[in-house]
């Protein structure tokens, strides 16, 4: 019979509960509201580490990256009011990405509650499920003996159904109480399998289809289920697209791959989505970015027949009245789908081949001088190891990555695309730092815009401080400096041509800035200089920033600001 632990601080018990859940790394910014937890990290420093970040937004993005990479909740600790408000961007991002994550927030002592005490905020109001889109659950633990129960519930809620972020609020006086409470065992989420009747119906719909298209995505896949999904696609010869910023859900090198269904979608794929007679949306949310603003699939009743498989019942039918809805964990989905017996031949072979040919044709780019971003991305992929993790935030620069990088499918190296479907600027650098610290043997490449980068540039210090990118795996940040919030400038030229307002940027010397943080750095103005700079970064013993100077007129992988402005002016003159 095991004996209950000897009494220890609740803050220590909390750290022990995390260790029992398999956590070995937490991200955060310290605060006086949870000193007892920090003391717990000291107590158990052989088994768990606390990475001190430079801003809670960066810390929360790191936890999101941890959740995406490991499939278990990423862990972030922040202090009350100012810390929690800074961290909120990571919570929102994790919610939109369905990333399992637990945000622990230090709280004012119980006997000070509801006085608007120093930095007091009511997190159930602020982040509660009623806020829609911030957290799946907010718990506030007032009883030290019940801390393991709260941790277990937090992990279960973050993982089960549609994964997502949860918040656990920790009143300061609770954390300093003594407790002999035992920790609870590691949580494994209950898995939902698609119902057999629904699978039979799906087979009937497939047999009746002429031009089907599968769109894969979402969070909760494992390698086995991702392989099984590929076999399902192969058995039925289904062309496969990937949802916005879930481009690693299906192997982009596969002859059935059709491209990504996101911002900057290949226009031929957009047309194919519209022309399909059956859409199988497997695991992916049918959000604004994956549906072309609810136009590729008309809301609420698309012209195409729609099958939607998702882990969360609340997502099924939220917008679209699908013809068939299947609730299933993604770890089960592929395995269930591959059991559907396919006919010997399908009538859509040419359709599937054309879909892949369109994808390949979209890789061919007209050369751009002096700096060709398509070549930059292709060079990165050619030189970087196959299991490289790629990260980005928001901005037009990400369009080159999305269009020209081939992601290899989850069964090969797990998640290799860390990118926010929420379009949160500032995500990429902290996500890259986290990936590098969690997987020191893997190379991590971040592509950032100049606006995007400086939203969390301070996390360069976290990387240096903890030795990221100094081992076998390299850490490389490529900053695309066009001197403008280019995405906004593009929209301005489209809506209000020639009237630039609020989108020009003053920039530091990014290379000098990185060097001041202890990074190596180089500056590249022309395509030919990129390959040697990147090759050097792959050999280096420290993390490297490559500062790219890009003409602001090179707006996207498809058009220029001048062309957008001219079209808008012609439109306005014709009015």
Ligand X SMILES: Cc1ncc(C[n+]2csc(CCOP(=O)(O)OP(=O)(O)O)c2C)c(N)n1
Nearer to ligand X, 351 or 397 (CB): 397
- Gap between the Cα atoms of 553 and 486, Å rounded: 9
Nearer to ligand X, 74 or 486 (CB): 486
Q: DSSP strand E in 253-340: where?
A: 257-261, 278-282, 305-310, 324-327
User: Using the 8-state DSSP alphabet, how is residue 404 labeled?
Assistant: H
Residue 486 near ligand X by CB under 6 A: yes
Stretch that binds ligand X, among 21-29, 309-317, 382-390, 479-487 (CB under 6 A): 479-487
Nearer to ligand X, 28 or 486 (CB): 486
Residue 424 near ligand X by CB under 6 A: yes
Q: Report which of 508, 552, 514, 506 is spatially closest to residue 533, judged by C-alpha positions.
A: 514
Residue spans of alpha helices (H) in 255-406 = 267-275, 330-337, 349-361, 373-383, 398-404
Among 19, 365, 488, 500, binds ligand X (CB under 6 A): 488
Task: For the CB of residue 195, give the shortest distance to ligand X in the complex, in Å.
Answer: 39
Nearer to ligand X, 25 or 484 (CB): 484
Nearer to ligand X, 331 or 454 (CB): 454
Among 257, 408, 485, 534, binds ligand X (CB under 6 A): 485
352-391 footprint of ligand X as x/- string (CB under 6 A): ----------------------------------------
Stretch that binds ligand X, among 166-174, 298-306, 481-489, 530-538 (CB under 6 A): 481-489
CA distances from 304 to 212, 277, 280, 455, 548 (A): 9, 5, 10, 41, 43
Among 83, 395, 428, 543, binds ligand X (CB under 6 A): 395
Q: If you search the block for the tokens 């393991």, which residue do you land on?
A: 148
- Look at residue 88 and give its three-state secondary structure: helix
Cis amide leading into 180 (omega within 30): no
Angle at 89 (CA atoms; ends 83, 95), nearest 5 degrees: 120
- Gap between the Cα atoms of 465 and 458, Å rounded: 12
In the 3-class helix/strand/coil scheme, how is 93-126 assigned residue by residue?
A: HHHHHCCCEEEEEEECCHHHCCCCCCCCCCHHHH
Angle at 124 (CA atoms; ends 118, 125), nearest 5 degrees: 85
CA distances from 539 to 226, 234, 375, 496 (A): 33, 39, 20, 46
Residue 425 near ligand X by CB under 6 A: yes
Nearer to ligand X, 329 or 482 (CB): 482
Task: For the CB of residue 199, give the shortest distance to ligand X in the complex, in Å.
Answer: 39
Q: DSSP strand E in 41-159: where?
A: 49-52, 74-78, 101-107, 137-140
Among 396, 492, 527, 557, binds ligand X (CB under 6 A): 396
Residue 430 near ligand X by CB under 6 A: no
Among 430, 449, 457, 473, binds ligand X (CB under 6 A): 449
Task: For the CB of residue 485, give the shortest distance to ligand X in the complex, in Å.
Answer: 4
Please state the separation of Cα 154 from the chain's center in Å: 20
Residue 257 near ligand X by CB under 6 A: no
Cβ-contact 358, 272 below 8 angstroms: yes
Among 484, 492, 527, 544, binds ligand X (CB under 6 A): 484
Residue 459 near ligand X by CB under 6 A: no
Residue 447 near ligand X by CB under 6 A: no
Residue 56 near ligand X by CB under 6 A: no
| Residue 88 burial (CB count, 10 A) | 19
Cβ-contact 105, 80 below 8 angstroms: yes
Residue whose beta carbon is closest to ligand X: 449
Cβ-contact 521, 546 below 8 angstroms: yes
Q: Considering CB under 6 A, how many residues would be counted as binding ligand X?
A: 19
Task: For the CB of residue 504, give the shortest distance to ligand X in the complex, in Å.
Answer: 11
Stretch that binds ligand X, among 5-13, 125-133, 450-458, 471-479 (CB under 6 A): 450-458
Task: For the CB of residue 264, give the shortest distance to ligand X in the complex, in Å.
Answer: 12
The number of residues making up the chain comes to 575
Task: For the CB of residue 282, give the shortest distance to ligand X in the complex, in Å.
Answer: 27
Task: For the CB of residue 448, give the shortest distance to ligand X in the complex, in Å.
Answer: 7
- Gap between the Cα atoms of 270 and 262, Å rounded: 9
- Gap between the Cα atoms of 485 and 504, Å rounded: 6
Among 222, 251, 375, 452, binds ligand X (CB under 6 A): 452
300-319 footprint of ligand X as x/- string (CB under 6 A): --------------------
Nearer to ligand X, 398 or 464 (CB): 398
Nearer to ligand X, 265 or 394 (CB): 394
Nearer to ligand X, 84 or 144 (CB): 84
Contacting residues toward ligand X, per CB under 6 A: 394-397, 423-426, 449-452, 480, 482, 484-488
């Amino acid at each position: 019979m095991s004996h209950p632990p000897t009494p220890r601080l609740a803050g220590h018990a909390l750290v022990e509960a995390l260790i029992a859940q398999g956590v070995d790394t937490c991200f955060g910014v310290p605060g006086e509201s949870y000193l007892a937890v920090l003391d717990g990290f000291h107590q158990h420093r052989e088994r768990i580490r606390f990475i001190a970040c430079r801003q809670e937004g960066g810390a929360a993005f790191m936890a999101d990256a941890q959740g995406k990479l490991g499939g278990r909740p990423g862990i972030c600790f922040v202090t009350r009011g100012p810390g929690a408000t800074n961290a909120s961007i990571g919570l929102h991002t994790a919610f939109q990405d369905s990333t399992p994550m637990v945000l622990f927030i230090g709280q004012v002592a119980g006997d000070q509650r509801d006085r608007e005490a120093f930095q007091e905020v009511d997190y159930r109001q602020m982040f509660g499920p009623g806020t829609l889109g911030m957290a799946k659950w907010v718990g506030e633990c007032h009883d030290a003996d019940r801390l393991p129960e709260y941790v277990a519930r937090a992990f279960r809620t973050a993982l089960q159904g549609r994964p997502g972020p949860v918040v656990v609020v920790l009143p300061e006086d609770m954390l300093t109480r003594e407790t002999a409470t035992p920790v609870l065992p590691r949580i494994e989420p209950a898995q939902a399998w698609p119902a057999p009747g629904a699978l039979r119906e799906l087979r009937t719909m497939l047999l009746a289809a002429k031009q089907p298209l599968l769109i894969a995505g979402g969070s909760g896949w494992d390698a086995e289920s991702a392989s099984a999904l590929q076999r399902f696609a192969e058995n039925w010869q289904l062309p496969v697209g990937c949802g916005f910023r879930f481009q690693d859900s299906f192997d982009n090198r596969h002859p059935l791959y059709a491209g990504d269904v996101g911002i900057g979608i290949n226009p031929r794929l957009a047309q194919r989505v519209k022309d399909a007679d059956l859409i199988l949306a497997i695991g992916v949310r049918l959000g604004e970015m994956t549906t072309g603003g609810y136009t590729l699939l008309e809301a609420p009743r698309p012209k195409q027949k729609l099958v939607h498989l998702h882990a969360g019942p609340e997502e099924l039918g939220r917008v679209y009245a699908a013809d068939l809805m299947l609730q299933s964990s993604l770890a089960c989905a592929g395995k269930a789908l591959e059991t559907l017996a396919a006919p010997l031949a399908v009538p859509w072979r040419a359709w599937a081949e054309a879909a892949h040919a369109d994808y390949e044709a979209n890789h061919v780019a007209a050369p751009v001088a002096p700096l060709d971003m398509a070549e930059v991305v292709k060079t990165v992929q050619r030189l970087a190891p196959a299991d490289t993790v790629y990260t980005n935030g928001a901005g037009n620069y990400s369009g080159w990555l999305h269009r020209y990088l081939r992601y290899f499918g989850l069964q090969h190296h797990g998640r290799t695309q860390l990118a926010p479907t929420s379009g949160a600027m500032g995500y990429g650098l902290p996500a890259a730092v986290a990936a590098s610290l969690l997987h020191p043997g893997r190379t991590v490449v971040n592509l950032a815009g100049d606006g995007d980068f400086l939203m969390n540039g301070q996390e360069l210090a976290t990387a240096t401080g903890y030795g990221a990118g100094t081992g076998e795996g390299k850490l490389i940040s490529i900053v695309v400096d066009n001197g403008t919030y280019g995405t906004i400038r593009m929209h301005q030229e489209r809506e209000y041509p020639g009237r630039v307002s609020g989108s020009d940027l003053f920039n530091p010397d990014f290379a000098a800035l990185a060097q001041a943080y202890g990074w190596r750095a180089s500056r590249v103005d022309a395509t030919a200089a990129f390959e040697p700079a990147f090759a050097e970064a792959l050999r280096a013993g420290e993390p490297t920033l490559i500062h790219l100077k890009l003409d602001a007129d090179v707006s996207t992988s498809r058009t220029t600001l001048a062309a957008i402005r001219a079209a808008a002016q012609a439109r306005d003159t014709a009015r």
